[in-house]
Amino acid sequence: MLEVDAARALILKGLQRNPTEAVTADDALGRVLAVDVICDEDLPPFDNTAMDGYALAVGARTAQPGEVFAVQGEQAAGDAARAAAAACEIMTGARIPDGLDAVVPVEQIRVLDQDAAGRALRIEITSEVPPGQHIRRAGEDIRRGERALPAGARIGAEQRLLLAGIGCGQVDTVRRPGLALFCTGRELVEAGAPLGSGEIRNSNGPYLSAAVAAAGAELLRYAVLPDEAAPLQRAIEDATAAGAQVILSTGAVSMGRYDFVPQVLRELGAEIVFHKLRMRPGKPLLFARLPGGQLYFGLPGNPASSAVGFRFFVCAALRALLGLRPEQPWRLPLLADARKKPGFTLYQKARVRLGEDGRLCVELLRGQESFKVRPLAEANAWAALPAEVEQLSAGILIDVHGLEHWGLQLSTETLA
């Protein structure tokens, strides 16, 4: 039986990054950049003031408290460039008039003379004003010609902010992998419908649909299918015709009478690359390549098993299609002693949290049985315990992965 790393290597063999797709910056949210974004304007675009106050000409020296400046006019945010003959009142974000070179905040001046409308005509500064004070320089955040974002970056709200800041309205992204998901099982019932005798809720379908989108792929087809070969075969043919690159099924890959997935794949002429791995949960995982090159993952039906198959094998393929390197785990100390049987990699629902010493550590959660759903909702990470290990002592470093392949996400609610 294959080890998990060897299995991942077989999945990644020959996989190439998807083609580039130009999309608007809004549509880029959640997608991965195919090429570097080069900034083609300075941010900020011009020298401007960080404070409300007065723009002064101090030259190369530091103006001293008690110095007096004549004031003429004002410069507000949005006012165009102009030359100044004297100091001027200035508002945050306004362009520094040509000839002025420092800003004194309004709190650090005294008005000596004012006009009928109450505008200052002469001011005295009450603190030192060094040259350049409170001026935000053109290009100080990011300069024209610089790389704003690297290829491989995922566009979230913060990256969207940067794109907006530099006026970038369109980006080249990696086309999202197209994916189809089929849940097999005549016992499956959706929310809202009553549970008949012997029936259970379909939890994998909604779970994996959400996980697929969160992983950066596009769900092209989704269906719940009975325990028969023909509907699955038709669904696979329809999915490949719709452009699916990756097809997932749940259930029907174990050793039961109704575990028909391998048979369907053989009938379609697929190459079954592996079936069963040295791991738990999710040992019956099946991986095949269809004649058209599409990747097929037969995930076991138990929710935690399908979660492991998706997270550690399907996501590896999705990353390659997105042009991302294989994941690197975090290494964190184990909270408490643990034991496992040797001979298989154990993927455990885990919580990265603060230990008594105030440092991050990882706790293996209770309820690791693969039919259990609740512990996954309480986890914020996966721990991967190596195949050969039997005894793990508190404090040793173990591999920890985020629930999503992008990395760990620690909300403060789950840290304590």
Minimum Å distance from CB 398 to ligand AMP? Answer: 28
Nearest to 406 by CA among 324, 331, 351, 332: 324
187 near ligand AMP, judged by CB under 6 A = yes
Rounded-to-integer distance, Cα 220 and Cα 48, Å:
49
Q: Which of 177, 251, 282, 298 binds ligand AMP (CB under 6 A)?
A: 251
Minimum Å distance from CB 270 to Mg ion? Answer: 20
282 near ligand AMP, judged by CB under 6 A = no
Nearer to ligand AMP, 256 or 343 (CB): 256
Q: Name the closest residue to ligand AMP (Cβ).
A: 301
Nearer to ligand AMP, 200 or 214 (CB): 200
Enumerate the β-bridge partners of residue 299: 250
Helix (H) or strand (E) holding 349: strand 345-354
Nearer to Mg ion, 185 or 281 (CB): 185
Residue 233, phi-psi category: left (phi > 0), alpha (psi -120 to 50), beta (remainder)? alpha
Nearer to ligand AMP, 301 or 402 (CB): 301
Q: Residues for the chain: how many in total?
A: 416
Query: What is the secondary structure of 147-215 as a DSSP string?
Result: EEE-TT-B--HHHHHHHHHTT--EEEEEPPPEEEEEEE-TTEE-TTSPPPTT-EE--HHHHHHHHHHHT
> Is residue 59 packed enough to be buried (19+ CB in 10 Å), middle (13-18) or exposed (0-12)?
exposed
185 near ligand AMP, judged by CB under 6 A = yes
Residue 202 contact among Mg ion, ligand AMP, none, beta carbon within 5 to 8 Å by kind:
ligand AMP
Calculate ∠ Cα 278-281-285, nearest 5°.
65
The contact pattern for ligand AMP, residues 283-302, with x = CB under 6 A and - = no contact, is -----------------xxx
Minimum Å distance from CB 382 to Mg ion? Answer: 24
Minimum Å distance from CB 209 to Mg ion? Answer: 19
Stretch touching ligand AMP by CB under 6 A, among 78-86, 211-219, 251-259, 324-332:
251-259
Q: In the numeric block, which tokens belong to residue 36?
A: 């570097």
Q: In the numeric block, which tokens belong to residue 92?
A: 């945050």
Name the pairing type of β-strands 68-75 and 87-90.
parallel
By CB under 6 A, the residues from 191 to 250 that bind ligand AMP are 200, 202-205, 250
- Interface with ligand AMP (CB under 6 A), residue total 18
Nearer to ligand AMP, 51 or 299 (CB): 299
Alpha helices in 74-168 (DSSP H): 157-165
Q: Which of 94, 181, 252, 403 binds ligand AMP (CB under 6 A)?
A: 252
Which parts of this chain interact with ligand AMP (CB under 6 A)? 183, 185, 187-188, 200, 202-205, 250-252, 254, 256, 300-303
